[in-house]
Amino acid sequence: MAYFRSSLDDEGRSVDVQGSFVRRWAAANGVRIVREFCNSGPATAEGRPTLAEMVE
């Protein structure tokens, strides 16, 4: 699994950068990503529902 997050002030750009980096790393290291999770928003876990879904 892979989890990407961004803050409110970066307009989601960091999610694209994180995703690209992690996918390249996984491919180069023989790791298969079976599911991706993504959240943008506040820095608290309560404001990131996909994080809670991933943890479950």
Taking alpha carbons only, the member of 25, 55, 8, 23 closest to residue 39 is: 8
Residue 35, Cα to own-chain centre: how many angstroms?
A: 10
pLDDT digits (tens, 9 = 90+) for 17-50: 888 889 999 999 999 999 888 776 656 556 666 6
39 touches 48 (CB < 8 A): yes
Q: Locate the domains of the chain by residue range.
A: 2-55
Report angle CA 52, 28, 7 to the nearest 5 degrees. Answer: 35
Q: Which two tokens stand for residue 38?
A: 């993504």
Residue 15: pLDDT band by 50, 70, 90 thresholds?
confident
Bigger pLDDT: 52 vs 5: 5
Q: Which two tokens stand for residue 32?
A: 């298969």
For residue 42, the model assigns a pLDDT of 58
Residue 10: pLDDT band by 50, 70, 90 thresholds?
low
Which amino acid would we find at residue 28? Answer: A
Residue 12: pLDDT band by 50, 70, 90 thresholds?
low
